[in-house]
Structure 1
Amino acid sequence: MAAQPPLLYAFGNLAIDRAAAIIRAGGIVAVPTETVYGLAADARNAQAVAQIYAAKGRPSFNPLIVHVADLAAAKAIAVFDDDALALAERFWPGPLTLVLPLRPDAGIASLVTAGLDTIALRVPAHRAMQALIAASTAPLAAPSANMSNGISPTRAEHVAASLGARVPLIIDDGATMAGVESTIVAGRTILRPGPVTAEMLGDVLPVMPGTTAHVSAPGQLATHYAPTKPLRLNAREAGPDEWLIGFGEVAGNDTLSLDGDVVEAAARLFDALHRADASPTARIAVAAVTETGVGVAINDRLRRAAHN
């Protein structure tokens, strides 16, 4: 039977209520922001976030931006210094993302941050995203709602054409205002240019003496989490002094998925690596993971970790 196309709902109470119900049930939906349309999931639910990666065909687990209702909600998740507060108070709600230290009790799934101790946060200005945050009562992880490496979507029909049945519901509120992704700032460094320009930022914070604002390529937000111990791939059993992370029929000290489910494996990946790194063994081994769907992203991440 052919997969069902996504349901498109014009912005309104019905659209928000149905989208929020999907979010609360651990699903994903597409929603407009003032920048581009995002593919949203509850940032506290690793299984839900794994569906984002699966739907996008994302090649690696890059950290995701988390959208929250206001500065107070952001402070419950991250630690703000004076610089970050100044930027937030000037540009939020709006198309500025701040990379900040993650609070240990934030409750954010480690898949969202790619296992890092920082988090990318934004308070969106768009009515649809704000309404969905309120109705779902969740911080929403939401990268652009398109296949990985595709053109970012600025209309609902762009999302439908790119993702099709991979997303069950799209909230349609017309074309987005900015049309490009948010500016990302860490400290006083621009990691990604966007609608909030360097000149606008400079009106709030002076550039550090002797330096200029640095712009890096998209996707270079931060170094991926890597364990401190040597990591061996495609293991079928634990070797001497190894902690084995299993998958499918390969059992271990821990497992990514007993059923060989790559979406479940993606949701568990970073937590499993952290547990292995904290174990009393000197080395880590990981069973082979199926190279299909989001399994491609899992294997990309594991290869990077093994070569660090």
Structure 2
Amino acid sequence: MSIGTDIYYAAELLAKGEVVAIPTETVYGLAGNAFNKLAVAKIFEIKNRPKFNPLIVHIKNLDYIHQIATNIDDRLLKLLKHFSPGPLTVLVEKKDIIPDIVTAGSPRVAVRIPNHPLTLKLLSLLDFPVAAPSANPFQYISPTSALQVAEQLGNKIPYILDGGKCTIGIESTIVGIEDDSVIVYRLGGLELEEIEKMVGKVGVKDQYQSDKDVQTPGQLKKHYAPKKPLLIGKSEELVSRYSDKKIAILTFGNASSYFRDADVRVYNLSETADLREAAANLFETLYQIDQSDVDLIIADLLPDEGLGRAINDKLKRAGAE
């Protein structure tokens, strides 16, 4: 396994059916030729990801979506035109060229255009799109740097394309159509409010699905989870309850001032209460805590607005049993 910035080498590996880690603005992805069933099967194997959990297909530009999808709702096209490249994924009717393994047998495929210069250049070299879930073992914390990918996947992949730290830091928002209404299937790096400015009121799908009901990535109850136990609640009360443990507090804004005299380690996602900064720091901070010697992570939920909704969703899944 090697790490570098050689898009031509990455393209060569992908064309041979290999799997390569790629940077995006959200998190690092584990990419394979979306038209190649064997390459896609490798992705599932490397991640130990169940086959019922579909993948997102990454494309080079908006025009390309018509090569892999059909009957695309005008509202989804409007969103794509406005927010792409960016942290928006749309769920659309797939063409037969997309193998069923990519969509877990669903007639719909999740598609997005990543907003990262290195990966966009890489995609421009390819005559196929790439299927790419996050580049981590199934259910573990998503990686936001090449080093985290290397530490998590080791020698399971031949190459990591290093594009620096991910700027958004949480997965894309997934949007589709149900009963002629715009539905958000996964809260992510594009705020609900921004989507509603473009298409009016949208629904949010019940976010916790059983295995048989998964329609898009990110719907399983347990996800993004550190190895250390993570509890969500009133952190002051939880610290008192678990005073015999080494505790890490994951907080936001001014909340951490309470713990200055307590025997805990405080990790603040954003001291200035900036939700974008908090999102960018979330997975990196969880990963850092998970490498430490603490016994327990206690997290405060953030304001339930803007990116706070998506961050809270990730925290709840990270703490799920």
Give TM-score scaled by structure 1 length: 0.65
Q: 1:7 aligns with which of 2, 7, 13?
A: 2
Code of the residue aligned with 2:9 in structure 1: it is: R
Distance 1:37 1:84 in 2: 24
Question: CA shift at 1:217, angstroms?
Answer: 3.4
1:171 aligns with 2:161: yes
Task: Give the fraction of aligned pairs with identical amino acids, expressed as a percent.
Answer: 40
Cα deviation digits, residues 139-189 of structure 1 (max 9, x gap) = 000000011111100000100010001111001111001100000011211
Distance 1:177 1:47 in 2: 31
> Residue 97 of structure 1 contacts residue 183 of structure 1 at CA under 8 Å; is this kept in 2?
yes
Code of the residue aligned with 2:44 in structure 1: it is: Y
Could you say which residue in structure 2 is the equivalent of 1:76? 67
Could you say which residue in structure 2 is the equivalent of 1:26? 17
Q: 1:56-71 maps to which residues of 2 (within 5 A)?
A: 56-71=47-62
- Specify whether residues 114 and 151 from structure 1 end up closer, same or farther in structure 2 by C-alpha distance, changes over 3 A only: same
> Residue 207 of structure 1 contacts residue 213 of structure 1 at CA under 8 Å; is this kept in 2?
no
> Residue 184 of structure 1 contacts residue 193 of structure 1 at CA under 8 Å; is this kept in 2?
yes
1:185 aligns with 2:175: yes
> Residue 54 of structure 2 contacts residue 216 of structure 2 at CA under 8 Å; is this kept in 1?
no
> Residue 68 of structure 1 contacts residue 121 of structure 1 at CA under 8 Å; is this kept in 2?
yes
Q: 1:117 aligns with which of 107, 119, 137?
A: 107
> Residue 21 of structure 2 contacts residue 159 of structure 2 at CA under 8 Å; is this kept in 1?
yes
| Structure 1 runs of 4+ with >3 Å offset | 212-215, 217-221
1:222 aligns with 2:215: yes
Question: CA shift at 1:203, angstroms?
Answer: 0.3
Could you say which residue in structure 1 is the equivalent of 2:221? none
Code of the residue aligned with 1:204 in structure 2: it is: M
Could you say which residue in structure 2 is the equivalent of 1:299? none
Distance 2:194 2:206 in 1: 15
Distance 2:76 2:216 in 1: 21
Give TM-score scaled by structure 2 length: 0.63
1:196 aligns with 2:208: no
Distance 1:221 1:180 in 2: 20
- Specify whether residues 217 and 128 from structure 1 end up closer, same or farther in structure 2 by C-alpha distance, changes over 3 A only: farther
> Residue 51 of structure 2 contacts residue 104 of structure 2 at CA under 8 Å; is this kept in 1?
no
Distance 1:69 1:35 in 2: 16
Could you say which residue in structure 2 is the equivalent of 1:95? 87
RMSD across aligned positions (CA)? 1.8
Q: 1:49 aligns with which of 20, 40, 44?
A: 40
Distance 1:217 1:129 in 2: 31
Code of the residue aligned with 1:140 in structure 2: it is: V
* Number of residue pairs aligned between Structure 1 and Structure 2: 210
Distance 2:63 2:150 in 1: 34
Cα deviation digits, residues 214-264 of structure 1 (max 9, x gap) = 35238864199xxxxxxxxxxxxxxxxxxxxxxxxxxxxxxxxxxxxxxxx
Could you say which residue in structure 2 is the equivalent of 1:85? 77
Distance 1:223 1:100 in 2: 11
Code of the residue aligned with 2:3 in structure 1: it is: L
Q: 2:145 aligns with which of 155, 165, 171?
A: 155
> Residue 26 of structure 2 contacts residue 171 of structure 2 at CA under 8 Å; is this kept in 1?
yes
Question: CA shift at 1:81, angstroms?
Answer: 1.4
Distance 1:50 1:82 in 2: 32
1:145 aligns with 2:139: no
Distance 1:185 1:94 in 2: 13
Unaligned runs of 5+ in 2: 218-321
Aligned-partner SS, 1:76 = helix
> Residue 52 of structure 2 contacts residue 214 of structure 2 at CA under 8 Å; is this kept in 1?
no
- Structure 1 or 2: more helix by fraction: 2
